[in-house]
Amino acid sequence: MATEESDDHGGHHLPAVEDWPRGFGEASWWPFVTAIGGAGFYIGAALFLLGTGEQPLIGSMVGPAVFIASTVVFLVGLYGWLYHAFIVDFWGGEATEHGSPGLRMAMILFLGTEVATFGAGFIYYFFIRAGAWPPAGAELPHLVGSLVLINTALLVASSFTLHYAHVALLNDNRSRFIGLLVATLVLGTIFIGGQVYEYYEFIVGENFTITEGVFGSAFYGLTGLHGLHVTLGAVLIGIVLIRALFGQYSSERHTSVSTVSMYWHFVDVVWIFLVVVLYVGAEFTI
């Protein structure tokens, strides 16, 4: 989750004298601030739980309030961090590709952890899928329809547009780069919209919810986890797009374009696997 916020890997350019606290080179408040925000998500979630149940210990709005406040702190921390680590240097002409191999490697390692994160959910699904099917007393919703197919096509297409955006950047074709980046973001957003619509259809239309039983848990657990990843990916692409509009990328400076691109392709691959095993695999039995 934090790989993208990687540090500038200091010591190779001038100390960040403008950073906060000022004048101390390496020292920085941003990791601490961001950690407060990040931990705040967990504390907010904990307080939310304390506000539930038959005898809530605290008001039901305390948790969400802390969660929202933490989001603000987290984003401020990330902004300060990224701004001082990456952006400031562009205007000072200091930015190099020096940290690039490390950052790319960190993204690959992060994707390794993602395999494990998704792995637990898929293991659960395979575990129940190997049992009696369809699960006793449960009615599966209509899974494989035009919505899923169109959504899949959109997401696959977005991988291609992002890849060719990167190629265009490497060829110094700026307008094509930005155009394809916008296209990727639009496709990703439509995909998220499609997922929300599907949830709406299932929950309201077919009365198939997360408490439905074993398949409900698997379906909403896996698609929800994937949806969160797509959403994060869309945010990252949005950041890349804004930086691209400010002209911060060139064929020599494109580390975050390539790391975000790796992430997006990974999420795409997970989706294809998910469609094959969770949608098609649940509906059809050989």
Rounded to the nearest whole angstrom, what is the least distance from the CB of residue 113 to another protein in the complex?
4
Nearer to another protein, 68 or 105 (CB): 105
Amino acid at 96: T
Binding site for another protein (CB under 8 A): 1-3, 5-7, 9-11, 15, 17, 21, 23-32, 34-36, 38-39, 42-43, 45-46, 49-50, 52, 57, 81, 85, 99, 101-102, 105-106, 109-110, 112-121, 123-124, 127-128, 210-211, 213-214, 216-217, 220-221, 225
Q: What's the one-letter identity of residue 114?
A: E
Q: Which value, in Å, is the radius of gyration of the alpha carbons in the chain?
A: 22
Among 148, 231, 224, CA closest to 185? 231
Region for 213 from its dihedrals, namely left if φ exceeds 0, alpha if ψ lies in -120 to 50, beta otherwise: left
Kindly tell me which of 97 and 172 has the beta carbon lying closer to another protein: 97
Q: How far is the CB of 158 from another protein (least distance, A)?
A: 25
User: Distance from CA of residue 142 to its chain's centroid?
Assistant: 27
The least CB distance from residue 198 to another protein, in Å, is 19
Minimal distance, residue 27 CB to another protein, in Å:
4
Inter-residue contact 284 to 132 (CB < 8 Å): no
Between 123 and 146, name the residue whose CB sits nearer to another protein: 123
Cis bond leading into 101, ω under 30°? no
We find the least distance from the C-beta atom of residue 221 to another protein, in angstroms, to be 7
* Length of the chain counted residue by residue: 286
Dig out the tokens for 99 from the structure.
């940290």
In the bound state with another protein, the residue whose beta carbon lies nearer, of 81 and 271, is 81
Select from 123, 142, 125 the least CA-distant residue to 208. 142
What's the closest the beta carbon of residue 134 comes to another protein, in angstroms? 14
Residue from 28, 9, 22, 31 nearest 86 by CA: 9
Specify the residue, 46 or 276, whose C-beta has the smaller distance to another protein: 46
Q: Are 84 and 19 in contact (CB under 8 A)?
A: yes
Is 121 or 188 the residue whose CB approaches another protein more closely? Answer: 121
245: tokens are: 């509009």
CB of 247 to another protein, least distance (A): 26
**What is the residue type of 142?**
H
> Which residue, 129 or 165, is less far from another protein as judged by CB?
129
